[in-house]
Structure 1
Amino acid sequence: MFTKVLVAEDYEIANQGIIRVLQEEIGIQNIEEAKYCDEAYLKFRKALQDQTPFELLITDLSFKEDHKVQTRTSGIDLIQDIRKIQPDIKVIVYSQEDRPDKINMLFDVHTIDGYVCKGQQAIKELVDCITGVFQGDTVQPPQLADRNTNEMIHLDDLDMILLEELSKGFTKKEIRVKLQEQKIKPNSESAIDKRVSKLFDDFKAKNTTHLVAIAKDLGLL
């Protein structure tokens, strides 16, 4: 079982609840906590420098703002930055977010290892999730397991490039030129048109601004 875990959660009650589950239900004793993403990141860096790295990160997605200026303001920011310095870290998201599309994006784009939705079954699901992730499984919540996979949105590298370039204000023609210069295929006008149209359909976006807003809300940008 995991021996060193960091819990990033800004609500004290939820934080202590997770720690109690880790200690009493699973038997993990070496647990540190952080109420801010920057604080969690610094603890990861120090643990790596001390050659005593964390094995598991359990993090919420949203963190309340206060007087402190934070470089990382969300769980997604934290996951991305920690993965840059510790690529093999196991990550479980523990959040109130229950939208299947947003949860699915966390697995597809941010390659999290497990997800637990806060609720009546959260304690049991958290124990099962930690156990499964330790065994090498990717543990999805019932919100995804019970949904038809054909209904889910799956994005590849080209889709992500298109979303990023559209968010910067580039036109499809300008994006096509950039793809051709970088030798990224497919890069024909018709291929890009089809991809962008599919993104509009998948996300039910009315226009480019709406599409970018949805992508940002899902943590894709």
Structure 2
Amino acid sequence: MKKEKKSILIIDSCPLICEAYKSVINSTNKNEDYLFDINLVHCGKQGLEIINNASKNKTFFNLIILELKFSINYQKERLSGEDLSMTIRKTFPNTKIIISTALDDNFRIHNIFKTINPEGFILKKDLTSKDFKNAICSIFNNEPFYSKSILKLLRKEISSTLLIDRIDRKILYELSIGARMKDMPNYVPLSAASIEKRKRHLKKIFNVKDKGGDRELILVAKEKGLI
């Protein structure tokens, strides 16, 4: 019986993690149903070069596993994991993506689901070899896989009856990282008056009294997994 070839690209700045991922992937092939071709890359720039070359040569990746945050040197080149993921989606729309990251940021996670919608999403703090093996098996069976922290966030969002849009989320996020109201129009595409109006509306739907201030608003938003 001819083995099915699986071409896999792993992009993570830690060589040890790359080797661990490769080992776990190979361990899922006990019956030797697949012929794995696994490439390991330790920076975003090199990953982008491999993706562009594959596109030119009309080759294909079945699965790409990548981190969101690369080393400082490559961050200076303004290449993020989100940027690379979006390039992958455009270049190889049928390639499955697993994001495995240490970044525990609900706002970014929400945006990644909206813009990329990866087949797998794992927070490294949840990760065990068993969970990663389950992720690989699920993806090969055309089933999505999300680690427990991601599932917890998704459940919070689904159970919430509050209707807020991406601008509201952006306002909450900027407030949570210390942005001052006078500076908010630099980060949110609205006037200061419109931002203030939205903030009052958010306090109303979150049942936050004005005297509670922004701190209570942010705490409630975090409890609901919105930031």
TM-score (norm 1): 0.66
- Shift of the 28–61 alpha-carbon distance from structure 1 to 2, 3 Å rule, reads farther
**Aligned equivalent of 2:138:** 132
- Shift of the 132–68 alpha-carbon distance from structure 1 to 2, 3 Å rule, reads closer
TM superposition shift of 1:54: 0.9
Give runs of aligned pairs for residues 41-80 of structure 1, distance below 5 A: 41-66=48-73, 70-72=77-79, 74-80=80-86
Structure 2 residue ranges without an equivalent (≥5) = 172-183
1:86 aligns with 2:92: yes
Distance 1:138 1:108 in 2: 15
Q: Is the 8 A contact 2:68 2:100 kept in 1?
A: yes
TM superposition shift of 1:123: 1.2
Give runs of aligned pairs for residues 24-39 of structure 1, distance below 5 A: 24-26=27-29, 29-39=36-46
Distance 2:74 2:84 in 1: 19
**Aligned equivalent of 2:181:** none
SS at match of 2:83: helix
Instruction: List per-residue Cα deviations over 1:18-55 (Å, max 9, x = no partner).
Output: 11222233365301122111211221121122122111
Q: Is the 8 A contact 2:28 2:137 kept in 1?
A: no
Identity of aligned residues (%): 18
1:9 aligns with 2:15: no
**Aligned equivalent of 1:21:** 24
Larger radius of gyration: 2
**Aligned equivalent of 1:187:** none
Q: Is the 8 A contact 1:114 1:139 kept in 2?
A: yes
TM superposition shift of 1:132: 1.0
Distance 1:135 1:38 in 2: 30
SS at match of 2:58: coil
What is the alpha-carbon root mean square deviation over aligned residues? Answer: 4.3
Structure 1 residue ranges without an equivalent (≥5) = 176-189
Distance 2:23 2:67 in 1: 17
In the alignment of these two chains, the number of paired residues is: 195
Q: Is the 8 A contact 1:38 1:71 kept in 2?
A: no
TM superposition shift of 1:106: 3.0
SS at match of 1:94: strand
- Shift of the 49–106 alpha-carbon distance from structure 1 to 2, 3 Å rule, reads same
Distance 2:157 2:62 in 1: 33
**1:17 partner amino acid:** A
Distance 2:126 2:165 in 1: 36
Distance 2:78 2:106 in 1: 28
Instruction: List per-residue Cα deviations over 1:111-140 (Å, max 9, x = no partner).
Output: 011122325752111111111122222211
TM superposition shift of 1:108: 3.8
**1:18 partner amino acid:** Y
Distance 1:196 1:43 in 2: 47
